[in-house]
Structure 1
Amino acid sequence: MTNPAPDRLRFTTIAHATHRYLSPLSPEKAARLIDGLALRDGAEVLDIGCGRAGFLIDLVDRAPVSGLGVDLNGAFIAAARAEALLRGVDARVRFVDRPLADGVGDTASFDAIVCMGSSQAIGTFAEALRWAHAHLVPGGVALFGDGFWRRRPDPGYLEALGGATEDEMTTHAGNTRVAREAGFRVLSTACASDDEWDEYEGRYCAAIERYVDANPADPAAPAMAARIRAWHDAYVTWGRDTLGFGFYTLLKPASPAP
């Protein structure tokens, strides 16, 4: 009998159980990114695909603003609400576990939009940038985190990523050009370090390995173990040197570009 494939939503929930952020990001860099947004008091912030909302909660805790986090994963949203209550910011942040189109109206506008590795909630990176530009007030800011190729991907790595193609991403410089083409002014950029990647992938791998070790009777455990071992092997073989993750702080001009 073939073991069933692990449920994707359940797998990612378990795999991210110990992550503060669902991207390769340290608390120190997160603080710098938050400060770089330079938000005014009372600003309204949307976090697309907020996950457990570690970044949004840090932002609301660090600045006198309000936030809306949207994510399809109900378990992540439950964890986000609990953390916001624990941190004492629950009055200034709310969460919606529905598709973005349902959680945010067509005419909604925000002072800031955060999208950390969740462009797929809208479409491509370029489509997500255009969506954000349309939903920001003039002079509003966006912070996008998204992948890029550090070098040309090996065919074996593309296969390990589920049949990805090289043209699905560009370079770090390419991402900045896409942001400008969407109408933004690029304020600053940063990249995830090797240590941040190792921390992210290490926690991802360890959470699954610990789960399958503690739950051998789970019918999905063999498939989960096979999946995480193949994933981590691809990371150490190719991914660590191939896949980058960039952070792009962007401004929607309040006046026509010179």
Structure 2
Amino acid sequence: MNREQISGIAHTGHPIKAPLDDDSVGRLLEHALPRGDGRGGGRGSAPGNGQRGERVLDLGCGTAEWLLRALSTRPHLHAEGVDVSEVALIQARREASRLGVDERLVLHHREAADFVAVEPFDLVISVGATHAFGGLLPTLAAARKHLAPGGRVLIGESFWDRTPSPAAVGMFGDLDDLATTVDRVVADGWTPVHGHVSTRGELDAYEWACWGSLASWALDHPADPAAAQVLETAGTQRSQWLHGYRDSFGFLCLVLRETPETSGIRVSGNE
């Protein structure tokens, strides 16, 4: 069984591939989605022209869970998602059809970093996918290229909540702490207008869900040739979490707007 298949099983009980509960996802979308009347002329359109409806893009969308939730609550919203996983996109299309939002969702099977948009978007999402661009700031640079004037970015990134162990650094690399992560974003020309730091409950629930789903699948399919591999993977990942990074790993989501060049606050005061 390949890594993509294992990931799909692991996230069966936690479709948002980030340590966020449903309430947190809902609040983040509420703060990030366009706040017009929903009938055209979102943040990126001229007031009252009604020519272009609200548009949302997810770079590294996976199964498009963020987009599906947004589309389900905004009947005039149109969304596009980009991901390298055809398996994930097939699942997204199937779920969009079930929800009756497939006519408002376009999915692109390609590298998120190579995506070129035809029109700008009122909201660009990239939660837990900064690796696809080579880091946090390159991801924000990509989002900026797709953003309509006055639009927002919803980004999710890992950070070190406490000094990590060498094993944790080996798994996740040289992450910044929370304050430094936000300072870097501000220095890059963005103003946070909402944020959420995942709670211990959210972090733990995500890990238990992932490795528990893997273990359950293996136990439920003992005759499958991959069962032993999947059960071993679940145990290894659970052990790495409990012994390696549980006490130091953190996750941050930010809703961002571009800082005007004339504001005088483009660079963090800590620099």
**TM-score greater than 0.5 by the shorter chain:** yes
- Of the three residues 65, 68, 85, the one matched with 2:80 is 68
Does residue 7 of structure 1 match 2:2?
yes
Q: The residue matched to 2:195 in structure 1 has which SS? A: strand
RMSD (Å), alpha carbons? 2.0
Q: Distance in 2 between matches of 1:99 and 1:38?
A: 24
Q: Distance in 2 between matches of 1:113 and 1:73?
A: 19
Q: Distance in 2 between matches of 1:101 and 1:145?
A: 16
Do the aligned partners of residues 96 and 134 (structure 1) sit closer, same or farther apart at CA in structure 2, a change above 3 Å counting? Answer: closer
Q: What is the match of residue 93 of structure 1? A: 105
Q: Distance in 1 between matches of 2:155 and 2:119?
A: 19
Query: Per-residue CA shift, 1:8-45, capped at 9, x if unaligned?
Result: 11211221122231111111111111111250332211
Q: Distance in 2 between matches of 1:85 and 1:219?
A: 32
Query: Per-residue CA shift, 1:184-231, capped at 9, x if unaligned?
Result: 111122111122122211221122112222333444333332222121
Q: What is the match of residue 249 of structure 1? A: 255
Q: Distance in 2 between matches of 1:131 and 1:257?
A: 23
Q: Distance in 2 between matches of 1:158 and 1:229?
A: 20
Q: Distance in 2 between matches of 1:9 and 1:88?
A: 27
Q: What is the match of residue 43 of structure 2? A: none
Task: Give 5+ residue unaligned stretches, structure 2.
Answer: 39-52, 265-271
Question: How far off is 1:119 after superposition?
Answer: 0.8
Aligned residues: 247
- Contact 2:62 2:83 (8 Å CA) reproduced: yes
Question: How far off is 1:92 after superposition?
Answer: 1.5
- Of the three residues 169, 181, 189, the one matched with 2:187 is 181
Does residue 28 of structure 1 match 2:28?
no
Task: Give 5+ residue unaligned stretches, structure 1.
Answer: 1-5
Do the aligned partners of residues 249 and 136 (structure 1) sit closer, same or farther apart at CA in structure 2, a change above 3 Å counting? Answer: same
- Contact 1:139 1:253 (8 Å CA) reproduced: no
Q: Distance in 2 between matches of 1:126 and 1:11?
A: 29
* More contact order relative to length (CA 8 Å, sep ≥ 6): 1
Q: What is the match of residue 152 of structure 2? A: 141
Q: What is the match of residue 3 of structure 1? A: none
Q: Distance in 1 between matches of 2:262 and 2:54?
A: 23
- Contact 2:10 2:214 (8 Å CA) reproduced: yes
- Contact 1:116 1:145 (8 Å CA) reproduced: yes
Does residue 206 of structure 1 match 2:206?
no
Residue identity matched to 2:221: N
Q: What is the match of residue 62 of structure 2? A: 51
Q: What is the match of residue 161 of structure 2? A: 150
Q: What is the match of residue 221 of structure 2? A: 215
Question: How far off is 1:175 after superposition?
Answer: 1.7
- Contact 2:16 2:65 (8 Å CA) reproduced: yes
Query: How many percent of aligned residue pairs carry the same amino acid?
Result: 28
Query: Per-residue CA shift, 1:43-80, capped at 9, x if unaligned?
Result: 21111111222221111222332111112222221221
Question: How far off is 1:253 after superposition?
Answer: 4.1
Question: How far off is 1:239 after superposition?
Answer: 2.5
Q: What is the match of residue 45 of structure 2? A: none
Q: Distance in 1 between matches of 2:253 and 2:165?
A: 24
Q: Distance in 1 between matches of 2:113 and 2:126?
A: 15
Query: So what's the TM-score if we normalise by structure 2?
Result: 0.83
Q: Distance in 2 between matches of 1:50 and 1:79?
A: 12
Q: The residue matched to 1:141 in structure 2 has which SS? A: strand
Residue identity matched to 1:153: P
